[in-house]
Structures are given as structure tokens and as C-alpha cells.
């Protein structure tokens, strides 16, 4: 049944998505209010509080507008604790941080939260693409004014790197290895000299980084070979590898939490029952690993079936159920949306889903309603 138009999509801010420092402002403020330990210059929180913010699990009693309130610090990242510790320490050191891993392992998510907790600003971001130029990294000019007035400091348009340096904040450089090597190498001087030279300005021709400036870059391990970082740049980055979530229980927890958050953001009333979340994580995990929990060997598709993909499929299924179905996501909705995750570049990957449906889902369907709904859904999709 089509639902009523109740989508508010964050009425207050009128934005589809809030940056982490806004969305989790209350938690960040609560942590800051009790944080009295030493911190690197220009950091909003101490390293220990940043760690607590990312890993959660604490309740802080603080005063908000004169009233005492207990704020729960939720878990933002489900990977190994030492990964987060190493990332935080790197950002406090002379070296920059490169989060590397398979697509969908939460690199950007972690990067955003680190920037929000450390600098209070996760928006100083450069999105690396083949079209990214050195100007996107450093600065450009207001051409009209340069023609009229010549190059002056007022006519310069600083790129996020320069702003982060001037304010002593963190710069986020997403998908860094998608940029061509020349552009990547522009970072060498930024990271070694902690300065950007502006030769066009005769007087104030250097912008120096304030303490607190550093870079969090991310790179897909699948893209590493596309534009591999030069040796000079590699040396200036500490790499932290983010692995695919190791255990099924944690993966279910991640999908559940993120799906709930996203459903709230889209103001969807649709429910995703726990057995459906378990089903989707099980399907993704088993096809990704090429083996079912009963030990049956399975075809592996060429795509990375990450946890982020599982979350995406859950949300798409919820949207579909919400607009074209009922109030609850069923296995059938998952089946209809999962095809797009498995079959991306190679049509032959459909064979992996077909095999999975035949060998695994069909057997489980015999005595499980959710699996039965999923199996029937896959059969319909395959026939289409």
C-alpha cells in the first residue's frame, strides 16, 4: 500500500544529510565537557575522548542549558580497537593518515568521525577523481578580480587544504588514489614543509600550517594500482588497513544500527525485522567468502560485497517496501534489490546468485519463512 507523504528529511536543517559534527553534536559536547586531559594543540578533544567518541560504550552526565542530562556515546566504528587507536595517534604525529581497504569497509565513515571529533569540522574535504587538479588541492583565483586588480591575497580562493592549514584542522582527502600522480605529488610539500607557496603573491607568498593540521586520506585497495602513491608520498603517510568485518555477529550489528539511522533520516516508517537483517548479512557474507556455514563451496562474484553494500540493499528494500509494498521489509524485497549489488560489471556474476539460491536458499526456505520469501523473490528476479 503506498504510504502517505510524511518525508520530512531533517526539517530543522533542510538538509538531506548532516555532517557528523552536527548529527552527533550532543555527544561531542558531552565528551568535551568532561575532558580535562592534555590534548594536541587545536584538537577539540583529547585522544582518549576521540577514542571514546568513535568506539562508544560510555554514558556521560553533563549539563545542557542548565539541566543535567545523561548522554550515551554510541559506537560509530565496529572494527578493531587498535585500528582506531593507531589512526588517532597518527593524526597527532608528523605523518598523515591513509585509510586503505576494500570498498565499503567504512573508511570514509571513520575519516568523517575522526575529523568531526578532532577538528569539529568534517567538511574540509577533497574528493579525488581523475579530474582533480592541483588547484582543487591548494588554491585558485577569482579570475575576474585578478584581471581587474592583479593577484592579491583577497583574490585568492583557498582550497580545503589551505583552509585546514590556516585553521589547524584536519583535511579529508577521499579516494586519493583516483587522482593522477602529479596532483598527488602536490601534497608532498604540504606534508613535509607544512606550507603552501603562492608564487603569484610578491609579499605574503607562504601559507603555513597551524598546529592541529593533518590529512586523513582514503584509498580503495582495489584502486591502489590505478595511481599508486609515489615513494615520497608513501613515506609521509601511515597506512591503516581497514579489513572487512571479521565476524557475522558484528556485521549484523552494524547493518542494524546504520539501517536504523538511515531509516530515521529518510523518515521511513518501514520496519526491517531482525531476521531479515540476519538474512541479508548471511547472504552477503556467504557469497563474499565463497562458502556457506554448512561448508558448501560457492561461486564468488567479481564485486566486493561489503557491509556498506548490505546496508545499501537494506535501505533500498525499505524504500521499495515503503512506497510499493507494506510496512515491513520481507525477504522478497531483499531479493529484488540484491541483484544490483552482486551484478555490477559482469553479467556472469548473476550465476553466483543463481547458484546460491539453488544450493543454499532453497534448502533453508523449506522451514524458514524469511528465507522462503527471499528464495521466491530471487526466482522471480532471475526469470525476469
Partner 1 sequence: MTALPWDAQAVRQAADTVLAEALYWFPVRHHSPAAARHLAAAIERRKPKVIFIEAPADAQALLPYIVDKKTRPPIAVYSSYRDDDNTLGLAGIASPAAEIPPRFSSWYPMTTYSPEYVALKTAARLGLEVVLMDLPHHALIEPANAAAGQAAEDTTTLNRYPEDQLYQRLAQEAGFRDWDEAWDSLFEFGEYSADLSRFRKELATFCAAARLGSDPARLAADGTLARERFMWRTITNTLKTRKIEAAEAMVVCGGFHLFLDRQDPQPPPGLPAGSTFNAVMPYSFFQISALSGYGAGNRAPRFYQVVWELGANPDPDEWLSRHVVDIIKQARREGEQVSSADAISIAQHARMLASLRGRAHAILDDIEDAVFSCCCKGDPAAEGRYLQRAIDQVNIGKKLGKVTPDAPRLPLVEDFFHQLSVLGLQDTVEQESRITVKLDKRQDTQRHQSVFLHRLRYLQIPFCRLVEGSTDKLASGTLFKEVWHIKWSPEVEPALIENNLYGDTLEAAVFSRLKDRLAGVSKLAGPTCRQLRQAVDMELPAMVEKLELACEQAIAQDERYVSLSTALHELQMLQRHAIYQHQAHEVIDKLIESAFDRACFALPNSANAPEEEQQEVIDALRIVSEALLGTEQLDQALFIHQVQHAAAISEIPFLQGALLGMLAELRVISIEESSQALAGFAQQPAERQLAAGDFLDGMLATCRTSIMLGADHLVNAMQVLLRAVDEESFLIMLPRMRIAFKRLHAAQLDSIAGLVAGYLGLEESKQLTRLETSVKAAALFAQIDKKVAAIMQEWEL
Residue numbers at the binding site for partner 1 (CB under 8 A): 47-48, 51, 82, 85-86, 88-90, 92-95, 100-101, 221, 224, 231, 234-235, 237-241, 243
Of 95 and 210, which CB lies nearer to partner 1 in the complex structure?
A: 95
Nearest approach, Cβ of 231 to partner 1 (angstroms)?
Answer: 8
Of 69 and 235, which CB lies nearer to partner 1 in the complex structure?
A: 235
Nearest approach, Cβ of 240 to partner 1 (angstroms)?
Answer: 7
Of 19 and 40, which CB lies nearer to partner 1 in the complex structure?
A: 40
Nearest approach, Cβ of 72 to partner 1 (angstroms)?
Answer: 19
Nearest approach, Cβ of 221 to partner 1 (angstroms)?
Answer: 7
Of 90 and 111, which CB lies nearer to partner 1 in the complex structure?
A: 90
Buried b / exposed e along 106-137 (16+ C-beta atoms within 10 A) = bbbbbbbbbbbbbbbbbbbbbebeeebebebb
Backbone φ and ψ for 237, nearest 5 degrees, come out as -110, 140
Of 15 and 234, which CB lies nearer to partner 1 in the complex structure?
A: 234
Of 207 and 240, which CB lies nearer to partner 1 in the complex structure?
A: 240
Nearest approach, Cβ of 91 to partner 1 (angstroms)?
Answer: 10
Amino acid at each position: 500500500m503506498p504510504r502517505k507523504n510524511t518525508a520530512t528529511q531533517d526539517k530543522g536543517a533542510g538538509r538531506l544529510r548532516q555532517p557528523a559534527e552536527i548529527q552527533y553534536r550532543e555527544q561531542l559536547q558531552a565528551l568535551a565537557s568532561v575532558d580535562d586531559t592534555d590534548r594536541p594543540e587545536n584538537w577539540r578533544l583529547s585522544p582518549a575522548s576521540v577514542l571514546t567518541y568513535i568506539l562508544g560504550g560510555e554514558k556521560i552526565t553533563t549539563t545542557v542549558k542548565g539541566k543535567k542530562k545523561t548522554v550515551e556515546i554510541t559506537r560509530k566504528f565496529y572494527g578493531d580497537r587498535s585500528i582506531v587507536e593507531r589512526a588517532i595517534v597518527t593524526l597527532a604525529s608528523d605523518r598523515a593518515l591513509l585509510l586503505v581497504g576494500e570498498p565499503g569497509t567504512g573508511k570514509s565513515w571513520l575519516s568523517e568521525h575522526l575529523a568531526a571529533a578532532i577538528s569539529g569540522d568534517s567538511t574540509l574535504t577533497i574528493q579525488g577523481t581523475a579530474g582533480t587538479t592541483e588547484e582543487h588541492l591548494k588554491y585558485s583565483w577569482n579570475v575576474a578580480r585578478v584581471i581587474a586588480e592583479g593577484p592579491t591575497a583577497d583574490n585568492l580562493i583557498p582550497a580545503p587544504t589551505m583552509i585546514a592549514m590556516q585553521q589547524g584542522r584536519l583535511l579529508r582527502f577521499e579516494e586519493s588514489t583516483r587522482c593522477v600522480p602529479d596532483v598527488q605529488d602536490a601534497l608532498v610539500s604540504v606534508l613535509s614543509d607544512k606550507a603552501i607557496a603562492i608564487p603569484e603573491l610578491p609579499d605574503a607568498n607562504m601559507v603555513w600550517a597551524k598546529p592541529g593540521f593533518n590529512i586523513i586520506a582514503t584509498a580503495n585497495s582495489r584502486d591502489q594500482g590505478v595511481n599508486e602513491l609515489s615513494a615520497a608520498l608513501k613515506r609521509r603517510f601511515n597506512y591503516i588497513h581497514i579489513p572487512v568485518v571479521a565476524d557475522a555477529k558484528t556485521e549484523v550489528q552494524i547493518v542494524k544500527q546504520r539501517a536504523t539511522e538511515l531509516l530515521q533520516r529518510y523518515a521511513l516508517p518501514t520496519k526491517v525485522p531482525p531476521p531479515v537483517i540476519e538474512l541479508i548479512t548471511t547472504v552477503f557474507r556467504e557469497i563474499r567468502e565463497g562458502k556457506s556455514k554448512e561448508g558448501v563451496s560457492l561461486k564468488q562474484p567479481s564485486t566486493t560485497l561489503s557491509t556498506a553494500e548490505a546496508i545499501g540493499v537494506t535501505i533500498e528494500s525499505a524504500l521499495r517496501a515503503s512506497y510499493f509494498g507494506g510496512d515491513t521489509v520481507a525477504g522478497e524485497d531483499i531479493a529484488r534489490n540484491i541483484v544490483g549489488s552482486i551484478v555490477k560489471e559482469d553479467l556472469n556474476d548473476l550465476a553466483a546468485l543463481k547458484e546460491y539460491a539453488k544450493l543454499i536458499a532453497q534448502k533453508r526456505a523449506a522451514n524458514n519463512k524469511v528465507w522462503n520469501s527471499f528464495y521466491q523473490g530471487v526466482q522471480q528476479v532471475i526469470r525476469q
